[in-house]
Structure 1
Amino acid sequence: MVGKQLKLLRERAGLSQSEFGALVRYGPDHISAMERGVRTPRPDFLVKADPILNANGMLIAVIPDVEDAMRRARTRHPEWYRGQAEMEREAVELHHYCAHAVHGLLQTEAHARALFAKRRPFLSDETIEKRVADRLSRQQIFESWPPPIVSYVLEEAVLDRPVGGPKVHADQLRRLLDVGDRQNVEIQVLPTKTEEHPGVDGAFNLLVPKGHEQVAYLEVQGHPQLIIHRDDVRKIADRYGIMRAMALTPKASRALIAEKLEKL
């Protein structure tokens, strides 16, 4: 409902998605996602958008309903994941090592849908759409203020796996370039030819929740594990630091991603 209202008001104001996005400091893709109902507009966005679109308080009036929808949306995550989802949303730092797949916060809508469509055992169409929406809703942390510090170490093989086909894969590489261009995000690629590897035990996530110490989160074959013991977290953080030192710099990683995109 709010998305439809946003689109109607924007068009009445004679603004394109890019023009409107520039005024509220959001990208056109985010504006499109909100208008289509894929992403829930944040209250601070609605406050900024209301006078720009001459909504006369209409967008501000729906903020309580939006906040209620966001609270209900949090319960859509599987039971075992809800604690992790809450910590991710409130984290001041997020660090991810991606060994086999593009991290959920980096995925395009088409890439996420392709992943869920090939999940085993198969998922229903309704479940797929729900999980895609949930995954995209998590990406709103990039719009929060102040933004969290985010870093990624991606195995080069992740860049070479054409999930969803050539077009979807190309759009996914562009998404990596777009997100990596943010001031608070660093994406580094660990080349396949690297001889040493301290992270062969698999992918992991490191989070610093607001007001708390760093924790680690692992998921292997659908089995999640939240690690809070200080010594265990330190060991994982140490491995991540070594991998960041071994990986290409963010600038060199960006060049490699762009090169792979050009070859598609």
Structure 2
Amino acid sequence: MAQSKKKDSAPPTVQYFAAVLRLLRERAGFTQDELGALMNYTGSAVSAVETCAKPPTDEFIDAAEKALDAGGLLRSAIKYLRLERYPVYFQGFVQLEQEALSIASYCTQVIHGLLQTEGYIRALLACNYPPFEDAEFEQLVQGRLDRKAIFERKPRALIHVILEEAALRRQIGGPEVMSRQYEHLVECAARPGVSIQVMPMNQAEHAGLRGPFTVIETPEDTSLVYTESHGESILVSRPDKVAALTRRYAMIRTQALRPDESVSFIEQLMGER
């Protein structure tokens, strides 16, 4: 009964992948343990995917594709499974983000998702209320990690993030998690095409006080603005509104610490650990 409930509550693509995996495995004459051994996974890991208790990772899919000689049938699901790892309200933005020429984000409460470590991601998602079910939690963690593929994309996207000092000082996950998060931010700032700025709290009055937002430049050379709050999102496309918010972002950028000053600021926080 519990397994049936998990299957019914899983996203449609996860359910379909589970059914196809089981069909291919049974046609090949493998038990779950036998297939797992070929994939360097346990039989229980195969069972978890087939029962929708856990969504498949990209690595799991690649291993199953090879072990079952699936002719691309399993691997072709990766694109669609990745999308279903995100909340419905966020799926449209993820598609835009992964194709964007440039991304410019102003963040107030937490560190930008593209810049988060896995430890920070897990601690942040654990704060959700009501709490996520285990399978949904793991799915959201993997989805956020998947977004980092943008850093390896060619042509490279230009990424600029302004972080409020409060987001840096908030001890999500505790000192150890934050220490690694600070290190990761410094590493990210050294990447080509990535720029990070900090809005210090002593800049009491600035243009960003109305809240966070992201400006996206699409491959069609148009700009859009994305905002979200409490599981709801807005995608702004009206040219005059986009232009106004783009100008606002430019002002916030001038009021924040310079990129080099920002890295020094983060390194100072590291030294306070």
The residue that corresponds to 1:69 in the other structure is 78
Correspondence 1:27-176 to 2 at 5 A:
40=58, 64=72, 65-176=74-185
Is the 8 Å Cα contact of residues 38 and 133 (structure 1) preserved in structure 2?
A: no
1:225 maps to which of 224, 234, 244: 234
- Kindly, what percent of the aligned residue pairs are identical? 31
Aligned letter for 1:94? Answer: I
Secondary structure of 1:120's match?
Answer: coil
Q: 1:88-142: CA deviations, max 9, x gaps?
A: 1100100100011011111111111111111111111221111000010011101
Provide the C-alpha distance between the structure 2 equivalents of 1:103 and 1:254, rounded to a whole number of angstroms. 16
1:243 maps to which of 234, 244, 252: 252
Q: 1:175-215: CA deviations, max 9, x gaps?
A: 11111111100000011001321111111111012114100
The 1:194/1:142 distance shift into structure 2, 3 A limit, reads same
Provide the C-alpha distance between the structure 2 equivalents of 1:39 and 1:249, rounded to a whole number of angstroms. 38
Secondary structure of 2:101's match?
Answer: strand
Is the 8 Å Cα contact of residues 113 and 144 (structure 2) preserved in structure 1?
A: yes
Q: Tell me if 1:216 matches 2:205.
A: no
Runs of 4+ in 1 over 6 A off after TM superposition: none
Provide the C-alpha distance between the structure 2 equivalents of 1:85 and 1:127, rounded to a whole number of angstroms. 18
Provide the C-alpha distance between the structure 1 equivalents of 2:88 and 2:125, rounded to a whole number of angstroms. 18
The 1:174/1:38 distance shift into structure 2, 3 A limit, reads farther
Q: Tell me if 1:181 matches 2:198.
A: no
Is the 8 Å Cα contact of residues 38 and 136 (structure 1) preserved in structure 2?
A: no
Structure 2 stretches of 5 or more lacking a match? Answer: 1-34, 41-54
Is the 8 Å Cα contact of residues 38 and 137 (structure 1) preserved in structure 2?
A: no
Is the 8 Å Cα contact of residues 188 and 247 (structure 1) preserved in structure 2?
A: yes
The residue that corresponds to 2:51 in the other structure is none
The 1:111/1:63 distance shift into structure 2, 3 A limit, reads farther
Is the 8 Å Cα contact of residues 225 and 242 (structure 2) preserved in structure 1?
A: yes
Pair member with larger Rg: 2
Is the 8 Å Cα contact of residues 85 and 142 (structure 2) preserved in structure 1?
A: no
Provide the C-alpha distance between the structure 1 equivalents of 2:95 and 2:158, rounded to a whole number of angstroms. 17
Structure 1 stretches of 5 or more lacking a match? Answer: 7-36, 47-57
TM-score (structure 2 length as normaliser)? 0.73
Query: How big is the alpha-carbon RMSD for the aligned residues of Structure 1 and Structure 2?
Result: 2.6
